[in-house]
A and B are shown apart, each in its own frame.
Chain A
Amino acid sequence: MAKPNKKEWLEPKRKEIMEWMSDERRRTGIGRAVNAYTSAKENALKRLPELEEMRKEVRAIKERSIAEMDELTKITMDSVTEVKGIPYLAKDMCQAHSIFSSIVGEGKLIVKSKSLTSEEILLNEMLEENGNKIFETDLGEFIIQLRHEKPTHVINPSVHVPREEVALTFSKLLGHKVDPDIPGLVNVAREYLREKFCNANIGISGANVVAAKTGTLFIIENEGNARFVSNAPPVHICLTGIEKLVPSLADAFKVVQVLPPYATGVLMAAYVSLITGPSKTADIEKTIVYGAHGPKELHVILLDNGRSAMAKDPIFREALYCLRCGGCMYECPVYQVIGGSFGNNYFGGIGIIWSAFTRGEATVAAAIDACTKCGRCKEVCPLEIDTPKMVEHLKQKLAKKGYIQSQHKKIRESINKNGNPFGIKKGIK
């Protein structure tokens, strides 16, 4: 096996980390978000003491669901078919791309709601290459799409962009000056995107949880854009990872109750959409017609892309329990400083594990060494996922493959030679 090249795995990431650290603008954005999040969550958890019990139930649901992931995938495919949706199972990014290509084709207007899973498979890039026009409609995603940046948080993808920068971006979009007033900025997006929802050929969304038995997709959101995306265009495509499948509606509702307070500090998200098959009516002579007011077609793409491999590993399996609330990122002392550079396509300690399985271990071989192993992520996780243990385990795997920092190698050599990590020779006081 060839020795990993530092110019590839280490140096670009080091540069990215240093850029994040020295960027006051991004640090301001994250700092404001962290403060707002922590106080909102504290309040929500105080008002909902029942969450203490419920998050344990959700952990048990996830443990069971991941153990039966293959079976739940089959059940979901059948139940989606039964309600006249069209299910697909994509083994990897390549398969997902060809499924999307066959449904979407070329030259379409597409509206999208937030989906880190679509970012995982570089969906926008592929669709644009095929000559489609895509509008991200989640405000955060819209902002970073306009800025040609990458998302930096699973729930709040533009967490690193403060209001002043958003105003500059929107000024450029509209061709006139926009003030850095937050409600005004939100209104810009609202006005701009309204007609896109109505004119789009296709809406693409993710799902936060899926009830396998009924084939029901749950989409949790606050903005209301995912409702438009999944309802206004004639075709709705939902892309979701197979780890999102739980057996029943009752299980899914438990997840729905736990996720919002930990994700954004609200007691409940403004909107939860439950979608079971395409829109239909039988109001004329009891004859079923698909596509009444909602989409005529519903395509459900279930994505594996490393998840089955994760499920088979007794240590990394736990990463699949993650609900993607993103709380551990806000609470991570390292994320607070280096934000989106702490990971690859997913962020924070848990994101290191997810990135390793979905994009390859090498993509996080350098970022993993920014983790102080402080263990706060496990402490604040509603499911108490042992991320520090997984990070340490992944680090061992990487080290064995030669992904090791020269400083850490020197420490080992000094320990073996001098009995201490500092390179201080014996006998010197």
Chain B
Amino acid sequence: MNGKALYWMGCMSRLKVKSISDSTMKLLRLLQIPFDTLGEEEGCCGSILLRTGQIDDAKRLAIKNLAIIKSRGYDTVVMSCPGCFKTISTEYAQFVGNLPFRVYHISQFLLEKQDALKRNLKPLPVRVVYHDPCHLGRSMGIYEEPRNLIKLIPNIELVEFKQNRSKALCCGSGGGVRSVFPELSTEVAKNTMGGPLNATGAHIIVTSCPFCNFNFKNARMNDVEVIDLPELILRSWGAQ
């Protein structure tokens, strides 16, 4: 074991919404957590292939990715993307048996560092609403960790969509829909952000999924800012 954590960025944070991977790495450094990334060696986790019926290719990726992570000796793998998180922690295990490392979503990992966070977070008097990503919530049962993390921020006001947690609406980008029916994907995002959000009066949506983040931003709802969990925390740290 090499004693460091591996931060698995995921394709979306690595290449399309870099603010997510940048803020996550900045926060990990501020917390003095030793970590590596695989850089350009990090490939695809296979999630999109599984959602679009291309299971054989996904299995090949699973074997390849596991071999890389194992050969470097990481016992902890941290992820930004609920898609990677679900795929690697549940579906890889189905393909290849038990994983030789522990997989964390960033919200779980950061919550374990809450003492350090509490010492450093400064008041941030804003109203935010948290959107539950489908793969993190309904698939993996992680509803409270992101909320508890947000609540560590002094003076923040966390409000809820009318339909939240297991009943949360979808951002519209999952399952390969974005690439085939982009208009549909955007309409679903607008429906989710629209009515219920107005009821909350929040102008900031916090997500913990790069795909939700991308799709909400892409839907361009006026007066609504979309940010990822580590980005919000950095703001309170006063480091952004």
Query: Do A and B associate with each other?
Result: yes
Which residues of A are in contact with B by a Cβ distance under 8 Å? 14, 17-18, 21, 333-334, 336-338, 369-376, 378-380, 392, 395-400, 404-405, 407-408, 411-412, 415-416, 419-422, 424, 426-427
Query: Is B52 in contact with A408, judged by CB distance below 8 angstroms?
Result: yes
Minimum distance in angstroms from A395 CB to a CB of chain B: 4
> Does A408 contact B134, Cβ atoms closer than 8 Å?
no
Return chain A residues, CB-CB under 8 Å to B22. none
Q: List 13 A-B contacts (CB under 8 A).
A: A21-B187, A333-B172, A334-B188, A337-B184, A369-B177, A369-B181, A372-B172, A372-B185, A396-B53, A396-B55, A407-B180, A416-B57, A422-B16
List which B92-142 residues lie within 8 A (CB) of chain A: 134, 138-139
Q: Give chain A nearest CB distance to B22 CB in angstroms.
A: 12
Q: Are the CB atoms of A405 and B176 closer together than 8 Å?
A: yes
**Hey, which chain B residues are within 8 Å of A336, CB to CB?**
188, 191
How many Å lie between the Cα of A377 and that of B196 in the bound state?
19
**Selected contact of B175 from candidates A17, A373, A396, A420, CB within 8 Å:** A373
B14 within 8 A of A: yes
A408 contacts B180, C-beta separation under 8 Å: yes
Minimum Cβ distance to chain A for residue B176 (Å): 6
Instruction: Of the listed stretches B37-45, B143-151, B217-225, name the one at the interface; the rest are far from the partner chain.
Output: B37-45
In B9-24, which residues have CB < 8 Å from any A CB?
11, 14-16
Q: List CB contacts (< 8 Å) of B159-191 with chain A.
A: 166-170, 172-177, 179-181, 183-185, 187-188, 191
Of the residues B40, B52, B183, B192, contact of A21 by C-beta under 8 Å = B183
Out of B55, B166, B174, B176, which one reaches A408, CB within 8 Å?
B176
Query: Which residue on chain A has the smallest CB distance to residue B18?
Result: A429
Contact of A374 among B42, B53, B138, B181 (CB under 8 A): B138
B residues adjacent to A (C-beta < 8 A): 11, 14-16, 40-44, 48-55, 57, 61, 134, 138-139, 166-170, 172-177, 179-181, 183-185, 187-188, 191-192
Q: Which residue of B has the minimal Cβ distance to A407?
A: B179
A422:B55 contact, CB within 8 angstroms: no
A411, A416, A427: which contacts B52 (Cβ < 8 A)?
A: A411
- Using Cβ atoms and an 8 Å threshold, which residues of chain A touch B176? 369, 405, 407-408, 411
Q: A337-B191, A415-B44 are in contact. Are A422 and B170 (CB under 8 A)?
A: no
Please state if B184 and A415 are interface contacts (CB–CB under 8 Å): no
Q: Which residues of B contact A416 (CB under 8 A)?
A: 57
**What is the minimal beta-carbon distance from A7 to any residue of chain B, in angstroms?**
17
A89, chain B: closest CB distance, angstroms = 35
Q: How far is the CA of A374 from the CA of B175 in the complex (A)?
A: 8
Report which of A369, A397, A408, A426 forms a contact with B54, defined as CB distance below 8 A.
Answer: A408
Beyond A415-B44, A415-B49, whether A333 also contacts B57 by CB under 8 A is no
Contact of A375 among B134, B177, B187 (CB under 8 A): B134
Inter-subunit contact A422/B177 (CB<8 Å)? no
In the complex the two chains form, what is the Cα distance from A223 to B40 in whole Å?
63
Nearest Cβ on chain A to B69's Cβ, whole angstroms: 15
A424 and B170 alpha carbons, distance in the complex (Å): 27
Give the distance in Å from the alpha carbon of A416 to the alpha carbon of B173 in the complex: 22
Assembled-state Cα–Cα distance A427/B41 (Å): 11
- The CA-CA distance from A412 to B51 in the complex, in Å, is 12
Assuming the contacts A333-B169, A380-B167, A405-B180, asked whether A399 and B52 have C-beta atoms less than 8 A apart, the reply is: yes
Residues on B with beta carbons closer than 8 Å to the beta carbon of A371: 175, 177
Find B51's partner among A18, A373, A378, A397 (CB 8 Å cutoff): A373
Known: A373-B175, A407-B179; 18 extra A-B contacts, CB below 8 A, are A21-B184, A333-B172, A333-B192, A336-B191, A337-B191, A369-B52, A372-B175, A373-B51, A374-B169, A374-B174, A375-B134, A392-B53, A404-B52, A412-B54, A415-B44, A416-B57, A420-B15, A421-B48
Q: Which residues of A contact B180 (CB under 8 A)?
A: 369-370, 405, 407-408
In the complex with contacts A21-B187, A336-B191, A427-B40, A372-B173 CB distance below 8 A:
yes
Residue with the greatest number of chain A CB neighbours at <10 A, chosen from B138, B183, B184: B184
Q: Are B53 and A373 in contact (CB under 8 A)?
A: no
User: Judging by beta carbons under 8 Å apart, are A376 and B44 in contact?
Assistant: no
B124 to chain A, nearest CB (A): 30
Given known pairs A408-B52, A420-B11, the reply for A372 and B191 (CB within 8 Å) is: no
Q: Does A419 lie within 8 Å of B167, measured CB to CB? A: no
Contact residues in A for B170 (Cβ distance below 8 Å) = 333-334, 372, 374, 376
- Most A Cβ at <10 Å: residue of B138, B180, B183, B192: B180
Contact A333 B40 (CB under 8 A): no
Q: How far is the CB of A343 from chain B (nearest CB, A)?
A: 14
Q: Which residues of B contact A422 (CB under 8 A)?
A: 11, 15-16
Q: Is the CB of B173 within 8 A of A337?
A: no
Chain A residues whose CB sits within 8 angstroms of the CB of B188 once the complex forms: 333-334, 336-337, 372
Given contacts A395-B52, A422-B15, contact A373 B181 (CB under 8 A): no
Closest to A421 in B: B48
CB proximity of B218 to chain A, nearest CB, Å: 14
A262 to chain B, nearest CB (A): 14
- Nearest A residue to B185, CB-CB: A372
- Given A372-B134, A376-B138, are A392 and B179 also a contact pair (CB < 8 Å)? no
Q: Which residues of B contact A400 (CB under 8 A)?
A: 53
Are A370 and B57 in contact, CB atoms less than 8 angstroms apart?
no
B173-A399 in contact (CB<8A): no
Q: How far is the CA of A374 from the CA of B168 in the complex (A)?
A: 9
Query: Is A18's CB under 8 angstroms from B183's CB?
Result: yes
Separation of A168 and B52 alpha carbons in the complex (Å) = 42
The distance in angstroms between the C-alpha atoms of A225 and B11, with both chains bound, is 56
Do residues B167 and A392 form an inter-chain contact, with CB atoms below 8 A?
A: no
Give the CA-CA distance A407 to B185 in the complex, in Å: 15
Residue of chain A at shortest CB distance from B40: A426
* A334 cross-chain contacts in B, Cβ below 8 A: 170, 172, 177, 184, 188
Residues of B within 8 A of A18 (CB): 183
Q: In angstroms, how far is the closest chain B Cβ from the Cβ of A24?
A: 12
